[in-house]
């Protein structure tokens, strides 16, 4: 009975995913855009994170934690920056994409313009939706997070991170656009490097920020479609317009 119950649940999940993908393709196929349906994941990383620990250790009067061993840290190694988990992995920047795909099963979509369809927006915070976007010879990480910056008032934060150095990130401009019911909301900015902390970007508000009522205006049956476009640009600007 348990076996058949689990199988039946998996079939229902598959049917739901296919239905969401069909709806998205029907809406956006006319524009020739690729659609990726992204299911939510409850983050396991809201205990003190590496970024928070690193920032705290640099504050005056706070000493960094004593290491358990005297291993020499290779400065060329970077920690896992996946926002979902406190992952102990370290590696070179060139293999970050392989780690995210193989270990954390993060999907990757290729194309100049894509649509990021986040499902189940009604789930309680904290919740994350994540996808990788391959474009212009580079890989980008799009993070959409539902989080309470103030108790009882959840907000949605969307940002694009380049899997590369800050110098490389300055060569690109990304655009996030929501368009529904004769309303349009657009955010355009320079992506941040994945070497920076996603949590810091969100806390600083240097990203697309939506409150619950605004997100509902652009959602369709609990799903939020975000158009993504990346271009090369030497002129950097950040704007939000509606």
Give the model confidence (pLDDT) of 115-167 as tens digits. Answer: 999 999 999 998 999 999 999 999 999 999 999 988 888 999 999 999 999 99
Please report, for the chain, the start and end positions of each structural domain, with discontinuous segments joined by +. Answer: 27-40+89-234
Beta bridge partners of 3: none
Confidence of residue 6 (pLDDT cuts 50, 70, 90): low
Q: What is the pLDDT of residue 7?
A: 57
CB 142 within 8 A of CB 201: no
Confidence of residue 112 (pLDDT cuts 50, 70, 90): confident
CB 170 within 8 A of CB 53: no
**Hey, what CATH class is 27-40+89-234 in?**
mainly beta
CB 99 within 8 A of CB 88: no
Q: What is the pLDDT of residue 233?
A: 75
Peptide bond before residue 80 is cis, with ω within 30 degrees of 0: no
Please give the Cα distance from 181 to 27 (Å, whole number). Answer: 13
Q: What is the pLDDT of residue 114?
A: 92
Please give the Cα distance from 37 to 20 (Å, whole number). Answer: 7
pLDDT single digits (tens) 35-90: 888 888 876 554 444 454 444 433 444 333 333 333 444 557 888 878 767 788 99
Q: Can you tell me the mean pLDDT for 21-47?
A: 59
Please give the Cα distance from 75 to 181 (Å, whole number). Answer: 50
Q: 216 or 74: whose pLDDT is higher?
A: 216
| pLDDT tops 50 at residue 29 | no
Q: What is the pLDDT of residue 44?
A: 59
Please give the Cα distance from 224 to 39 (Å, whole number). Answer: 11
Q: What is the pLDDT of residue 223?
A: 95
């Amino acid at each position: 009975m348990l076996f058949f119950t689990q199988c039946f649940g998996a079939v229902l999940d598959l049917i739901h995913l296919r239905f969401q993908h069909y709806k998205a393709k029907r809406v956006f196929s006319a524009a020739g855009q690729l659609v990726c349906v992204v299911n939510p994941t409850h983050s396991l990383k809201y205990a003190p994170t590496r970024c928070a620990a690193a920032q705290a250790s640099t504050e005056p009067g706070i000493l960094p934690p004593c290491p358990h061993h005297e291993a020499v840290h290779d400065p060329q190694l970077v920690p896992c920056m996946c926002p979902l988990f406190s992952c102990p992995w370290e590696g070179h920047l060139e293999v970050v994409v392989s780690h995210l795909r193989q270990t954390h099963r993060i999907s990757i979509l290729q194309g100049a313009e894509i649509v990021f369809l986040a499902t189940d927006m009604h789930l309680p915070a904290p919740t994350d939706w994540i996808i990788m976007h391959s474009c212009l010879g580079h890989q980008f990480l799009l993070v959409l997070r539902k989080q309470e910056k103030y108790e009882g008032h959840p907000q949605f934060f969307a940002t694009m991170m380049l899997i590369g150095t800050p110098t490389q990130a300055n060569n690109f401009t990304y655009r996030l656009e929501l368009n529904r019911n004769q309303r349009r909301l657009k955010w355009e900015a320079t992506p941040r490097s994945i070497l920076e902390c996603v949590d810091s970007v969100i806390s600083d508000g240097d990203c697309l920020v939506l409150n619950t009522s605004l997100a509902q205006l652009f959602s369709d049956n609990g799903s939020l479609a975000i158009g993504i476009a990346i271009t090369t640009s030497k002129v950097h600007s950040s704007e939000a317009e509606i």
